[in-house]
Amino acid sequence: MKKAISIIVIAIGLYSCNQDSINEKNFMDTYQDILVVRNSITDTTLANKIIDSIMKAHNYSMESFQVDMLKLAKNKDDFNKVIDSMRSNLNTNKIKNFIQKNLDRNIKPDSNSTK
């Protein structure tokens, strides 16, 4: 969780004044999935692999995700609305379904990493 907060702070610090519109739903879905992983999976290697797949599935790179976050954060009220909505949608069933879906995709730690 500290890493996610650090990324947010760094991204805000590096933000340029780009006014392009963003897909709020895509951002919210992506961020919510990342929070589910970070709060559910203690194996950092596995969590990072899953987060990489989340970013790709939502057509994001780390940089483009940070840019969208900064665009939303520029308007504090809108940003808070999006984040509050995202957090209210997090629930146990979503976490369980998300983890199972990703495990079903065979996104698992390397067999060598458990030795």
pLDDT digits (tens, 9 = 90+) for 14-72: 444 444 678 888 988 898 888 888 888 889 999 999 999 999 999 999 999 999 888 88
Please give the model's pTM, rounded to 2 decimal places: 0.60
Q: Is the pLDDT of residue 10 over 80?
A: no
Domain-by-domain residue ranges, the chain? Answer: 2-13+22-108
Task: Give me the pLDDT at residue 19, please.
Answer: 43
All residues at 6 or more sequence positions from 73 whose CB lies less than 8 Å from its CB, including other chains: 8, 12, 15, 79
Tokens of 21: 């519109």
Please give the radius of gyration of the chain, using alpha carbons only, rounded to the nearest integer: 15
Instruction: Determine the Cα angle at 84 with ends 72 and 16, to 5°.
Output: 15
